[in-house]
Amino acid sequence: MKLPLAFYQRPDVLQIARELLGKHLYTNLNGVVTAGRVVETESYRHEGDHSMTLHLQRKRQQASALYAPGGRAYIYTVYDRHALFNIATHDAAHPDTVLIRAIEPLVGLDEMLRRRGLGAPARALTAGPGVLTQALGITPALSGTALDGEVLWFEDHGETVAGADVWASARVGLAYAGPEAAGLPWRFRVRDSKWTSPAK
């Protein structure tokens, strides 16, 4: 079952990030379908999160996609090469977002391998926010895409990841935002999944 936009429009971005674990992320680009099970997410909240404050200042033009009702893709590049896929959540007055950091590849493996230039499935295929977008064909051109359409969407396959199986830890690469923001335990991983990105 495809997740409705109401799923993303709830006010608690941390809850949304946790509940996305175990959901399946799909792309359909030029008739080629690829998909994987979400095993790692990160939350970013416009209140009480200095990293998000700085992001909204630095990416002012791109971040305008966050000032909309939840349920749209927010995709931007880092280091001029890696596209990062985020989900705008809450409502137009609350620019909160969830970053999808890793998936377990399940559908369209041959196409994912081709896009990544790999010969066989391995952790490097989709274990990280910059590589999963490459494997799924997600680019900044899809920023603003509604997540209930036929190009980019999530499905609920009946799995609920138990709290004991969720590993919460500090987010990655936020030292620049100061120790308080860097230490927030807002990175969520499926415990024991071999497809999560490297611990840092």
Return the amino acid letter for 42: E
Cβ(71)–Cβ(91) below 8 Å: no
pLDDT of 49 reads 76
Question: 102-116, 121-135, 180-194: which has the minimum mean pLDDT?
Answer: 180-194
Instruction: Show the DSSP H helices in 36-174 as ranges.
Output: 50-58, 109-116, 129-136
Ranges of each domain in the chain: 5-190
**Three-class SS of residue 31?**
coil
Q: What count of other Cβ atoms lies within 10 Å of the Cβ of residue 160? A: 11
Biggest CA–CA distance in the chain, Å, is 45
pLDDT by residue (tens digit) across 142-166?
A: 999 999 999 999 999 999 999 999 9
Strands 32-44 and 24-29: antiparallel
Looking at the predicted structure, is the pLDDT value of residue 199 above 70?
no
Domain at 5-190: CATH architecture: Roll (3.10)
Looking at the predicted structure, is the pLDDT value of residue 107 above 80?
yes
pLDDT by residue (tens digit) across 121-146?
A: 899 999 999 999 999 999 999 999 99
pTM, entire model: 0.93
Q: Nearest to residue 13, comparing CAs of 97, 84, 114?
A: 97
**Three-class SS of residue 115?**
helix
